[in-house]
Amino acid sequence: MRLRVTYHLACSSRLAGEQARDIAFEQTVELPADAVPSEVAARVAGRVESVEAIGRGRSRAVISFDPGAVCGDLPQLLNLLFGNISLKTGILITGVEWPDELLAAFSGPRLGIAGLRALTGARGRPLLCTALKPLGISAPQLAQLAYGFARAGIDLIKDDHSLADQTTAPFRERVERCQEAVARANGETGGNALYFPNVTSIPSVMSERAGAARRAGCRGVVVNALPAGLGAVGAIAATGLAIMSHPSLAGAFFHPDHGIAPEVLLGDLFRVAGSDAVIYPNVGGRFTFSEATCAAINARLRAPLGSVLPSFPVPAGGIDSARVPHWIERYGADTIFLIGGSLYAQPDPAAAAARLVAAVRRHAHG
């Protein structure tokens, strides 16, 4: 089976056939058809499977590629899908059909939805997550927040994705203090709250930080997947740590007529890269996704996909805690709700978290 990619092209169907053929050659042999031996072109160039008009001067083309061109290599996958054509205009990737051989090569999440549920002990209900912030407060202050959230019953307490190794809360001190605080709270409540530090950095440092997080007792981490490189997600996944991927920089790809559709980038690509949970900006918050886009991301993260486990969608980015029951109705139980600012806007974030937890548990049993 071949890797089938659907492109929306900002041109009429009269021109779309030619443009699709250009893409098929540009992304593989990177030469015009007349400069490639026909035997090589037949084996290696992409194949235009179909081209059709979809109205308003736009067309849809399906191009298939030999999965062998990817070598089971995530950076090469990104390069094949959108590398050179990113530098053109009017080309949007809207769907990918994955051959099993490629899915097996990428491994995907090691825990997935079931594995993260087992770690937290949360069954039959959505998980609640919040972030430790702001950048600029000390490690003991972050640990105190973590303690309060764990006591309140929040399942996952993550570093804000901008916490790196700033002198205000250096990585090692922050991880030890926050993990200790959450473990202490769990000891008092009998709960299983987890603390996920942000380990994003250059590859060697990221690997060191993941090791330090494991040794401190953490079961998972946060990664800014695109700044780090999607291939770096797989390296951390292989250590057995759960990975919550953050969409930092991803918006560069989300133009309506050029880029990679959110459900493909955050749904398919972040998942096959090894993310157990993927954060995205929910509709109605301070970012710009539509409800249809959010539903499509949820669907792509959870759908059957060869040997690749399903991942948790993590809607975020300005979810009002009062609206969480509404979003549970919409998105279902296999969702992690990340509520940050809405808790910090209240005088006592931990007390606000406790009220949120109570509301969600009432809803789950209602």
Closest by CA position to 213, among listed 163, 270, 147: 163
- Cα distances (Å, whole numbers) of residue 283 to 52, 135, 254, 294: 31, 25, 14, 7
314 is an interface residue for a second copy by CB under 8 A: no
What distance in Å separates the CA atoms of residue 105 and residue 73, rounded to the nearest whole number? 8
- Binding positions for a second copy, 205-234, rule CB under 8 A: 205, 207, 224, 226-232, 234
Kindly state whether residue 160 participates in binding a second copy, applying the rule CB under 8 A: yes
Q: How far apart are CA 245 and CA 161, in angstroms?
A: 10
DSSP classification of residue 10: S
> Is-contact 219 155, C-beta < 8 A?
no
Binding mask 116-155 for a second copy (x = CB under 8 A): ---------------x-xxxxx------------------
* Catalytic residue check, 246: yes
Q: What is the nearest approach in angstroms of a second copy to the Cβ of residue 286?
A: 8
Nearer to a second copy, 323 or 344 (CB): 344
One residue of 94, 168, 186, 192 binding a second copy per CB under 8 A: 168
**Does residue number 317 form part of the binding site for a second copy (CB under 8 A)?**
yes
| Alpha carbon distance 222, 161 (integer Å) | 7
Our finding on whether 33 is near a second copy (CB under 8 A) is no
Distance of alpha carbon 221 from alpha carbon 208, whole angstroms: 13
- Report, in Å, the least distance between residue 362 CB and a second copy: 26
Of 178-207, binders to a second copy (CB under 8 A) are 200-205, 207
Binding a second copy by CB under 8 A: which of 1, 12, 32, 114?
32
Q: For the sheet with 220-224, list strands across it.
A: 220-224, 242-246, 277-281, 312-316
Tell me which of 8, 133, 158, 161 is the catalytic residue: 133
Using the rule CB under 8 A, which residue among 215, 255, 361, 362 binds a second copy? Answer: 255
Task: Please confirm, yes or no, whether 133 is among the known catalytic residues.
Answer: yes
Q: Minimum distance between the CB of residue 294 and a second copy, rounded to whole angstroms? A: 13
- Would you count residue 292 as binding a second copy (CB under 8 A)? no
User: 3-state DSSP call for residue 139?
Assistant: helix
Count how many residues are written for the chain: 366
Q: Which of residues 51-90 bind a second copy (CB under 8 A)?
A: 68-71, 73-76, 78-80, 82-89
In angstroms, give the least distance from the CB of 241 to a second copy. Answer: 16
Catalytic annotation, pick one of 8, 158, 246, 258: 246
The reply to whether 8 sits near a second copy by the rule CB under 8 A is no
Q: Are 232 and 206 in contact (CB under 8 A)?
A: yes
Residue 140 structure tokens: 């003991």
> In degrees to the nearest 10, what's the CA dihedral of 321, 324, 327, 328?
160
Active site residue ranges: 133, 246
